[in-house]
Amino acid sequence: MAAPGSKMERLTMKRYTIGKDGKIDVDDTLSFTVMLNPADFKRSCSISYSQSKALGSLKQEPKFSSVGKETLSFSIVVDGTGAVPSPPNTTARDVATQLRQLNDVVYRDVEAKKEISRVYLLWGALSFHGRLETMSTNYTLFTPGGIALRAKVDLSFAGATSAKEAELVAERSAQDTSTVVEVTEDDSLPLLCQKVYGDASYYLEVARFNNLTNVRGPLKPGSILMFPPLETAK
């Protein structure tokens, strides 16, 4: 099994499962290696913002709400003419056999849990854990008898994160991305929140985070305050 982060010359997709402790177990027996690497791939992510505001108020800066899903999409060519060399340690395969093997890795239900399998994708510097979102097959070459000799497969995967992994990421985010501020003369929580977040309204949340009781008056110069990420401060 290739270790996470290791490089592979051809894009390989492998099934994996996640234990109760969050450990990832990659199944080398259920894998698919492409004949031809994608010409390109697209990796995207999204962020959601809260747009709520009081009735009659002026336009406000959107507030961070949550991180959306990450997606990976690309196309591969499945060839059965024999003109394209097969991946190492595999024999020549017709198009139907290759598509069946690809389906077994990325699409087939996990028997016991009845859910779409998790897939580990590895190629060069690319390392992605996800689940299939869409798969579209376009057959482009045939024998006189109508047997497919070549097909283009468009694939899109949504990033998959275990609950345990998400919990660890959230804890690490709260620890690593908090802003540390040393209070100077005449500083107040609303003023500092305006400087850090661009919004003074977070002063109550910051006060609770730092166990402060004096939320509006001047702060003690030289004291240290922690300003957590917005998703933690809320």
Q: Where are the domains of the chain?
A: 12-168, 177-233
Highest-confidence range of 21-35, 129-143, 204-218, by mean pLDDT? 129-143
Q: What average pLDDT does the chain have?
A: 80
Q: What is the dihedral of CA 121, 124, 125, 128, to 10 degrees?
A: 0
On the question of pLDDT at 209 being above 70, the answer is yes
In percent, the amount of the chain with pLDDT more than 70 equals 74
Q: How many C-beta atoms surround the C-beta of residue 106 within 10 A?
A: 24
From the centroid of its chain, how far is CA 34?
22
On the question of pLDDT at 130 being above 80, the answer is yes
Global confidence as pTM = 0.61
Tell me if domain 12-168 and domain 177-233 are identical in fold: no
pLDDT of residue 203: 85
Q: How many C-beta atoms surround the C-beta of residue 127 within 10 A?
A: 15
pLDDT of residue 152: 97
Does the 177-233 domain belong in CATH 3.10.350?
A: yes
pLDDT of residue 212: 79
**CA gap 39, 68 in Å, rounded:** 27
pLDDT of residue 168: 45
**CA gap 5, 13 in Å, rounded:** 14
Does the 12-168 domain belong in CATH 2.40.30.200?
A: yes
